[in-house]
Amino acid sequence: MTIYIQDNHPAIDILKNEGITNIKPASEIGDQEVITIALGNLMDNIVETETQFTRSLSASNRDILLSPHTPTKRLEAAQITVNNTAEIVESGSKEDLIKLEKAYHRTQFQKPLSDIKNDPSIDAIILTGFGKYKAPLQQQTDPNDRESGVDFYDEFTGVLDDVREKNTPTLATCWAAHASLNYFYGIERKRKPEKLTGVFDLQVTQKDSPLMERLGDSFPSPISRYCYSDEAAIQAEPNLIPLAGSKETGTALAEEKNGSVVYSSVHPEYLKDTLKLENERDIKNMGKDNAPIPENYDLQNPKRTWDTVNTVFFSNFAEAAYNHHKAKAEAVSELEQQQITHIMQFQSDSLTGMIGQP
């Protein structure tokens, strides 16, 4: 089906050049039924991230409007940068020009993260990872110290509270999964001595979950992380259902018995060379001898062995969004019918009273 995103969003042309032609500007939405998925993009590689999830959802059987959001502080900073465009262009600094390009993208295509709470049209939410993984899971206490917390943490948890209230299907990935598990269940986030990176074969442990439909007994998926949520605490939490995992990864996917959040450390949205590019970045930052080498992955000839997994997983998530969309519509219809019945009963009682008068 068709994925709609804001007019002129770079993902439209990027994916068109890949041969994916069902990505359309939001202005072309007609009278058809469209589900809305909010993308809480917490990453710095904003265009790449939004393009990845647009691509992943494009094979679903639903028409989808993807609505990117980002922390309000990012938008405020971006607007300041845009206001200083002339000075930045004059300076000619490559770093500043890249920052300016990102700022223009934010101000044109992203909404405040907190807006998710106020948009009744949203049928599902995807919350991404966040690069500043060393910061504690709390609101930043010192604006000059990035290691004192996360500057959008309160805004993020406000969205989580809204998810709970409305039971909105939500895919929390990577950092968002750790932060959400910590917020809802007090499950500690821990750090591995070395980065876990590679393509891992995950055993499906809950085959009757709709999210695991058509994924078989096991499936491959990229994983790339330093941090993880305490495995023993996940297993001990009665409201969490592990869906898939392995000895190396621990629980890689979990959902709730009573709730609508899926917690994920898998990255089926990755392209075949994403792990290779991450490895090159790690080599640049850490040196070749210290950079972790992705497991079960050929750096010289990378292949997207999880391509089918990506299609199936995100199609299943889109179905969860559609079911929530349908349930909301039915609830509105029922409420309207109750109101009509109440009005008709009131009119009938009034008419009876009038007839009974002398």
Res 17: pLDDT: 97
93 pLDDT tier (thresholds 50, 70, 90): confident
Burial 270-293 (b: 16+ CB within 10 A, else e): bbbebbbebbeebeeeeeeeebbe
Greater confidence, 132 or 154? 154
The answer, as to whether pTM is greater than 0.85, is yes
Task: Return d(Cα 23, Cα 33) in angstroms, integer.
Answer: 16
Tokens 């994925």 correspond to: 3
Greater confidence, 340 or 20? 20
Catalytic position from the list 178, 267, 324, 325: 267
Per-residue pLDDT, averaged over 301-321, amounts to 98
Is residue 336's pLDDT more than 80? no
Is residue 358's pLDDT more than 60? no
Is residue 259's pLDDT more than 90? yes
Would you state the structure tokens that stand for residue 41, as one six-digit string? 């993009």
Catalytic position from the list 9, 105, 155, 174: 174
Task: Return d(Cα 39, Cα 54) in angstroms, integer.
Answer: 10
38 pLDDT tier (thresholds 50, 70, 90): very high
Res 134: pLDDT: 81
Interhelix angle 72-83/94-109, nearest 10 degrees: 120
How many percent of the chain have pLDDT more than 90?
A: 85
Q: What is the mean pLDDT of the chain?
A: 93
Greater confidence, 349 or 156? 156
Q: Are 227 and 133 in contact (CB under 8 A)?
A: yes
91 pLDDT tier (thresholds 50, 70, 90): confident
Q: What are phi and psi of 258, to 5 degrees?
A: -120, 100
Alpha carbon of residue 66 to chain centroid: 10
Per-residue pLDDT, averaged over 174-199, amounts to 96
Catalytic position from the list 269, 278, 319, 324: 269
- The SS3 assignment for 216 reads coil
What are the extents of the domains in the chain?
A: 3-345
Amino acid identity, residue 228?
Answer: Y
Cβ neighbors of 163 (< 8 A, separation 6 or more) are: 125, 170, 260, 261
Per-residue pLDDT, averaged over 289-317, amounts to 97
Is residue 269 part of the annotated active site? The answer reads yes
Fold entry, domain 3-345:
Rossmann fold (3.40.50)
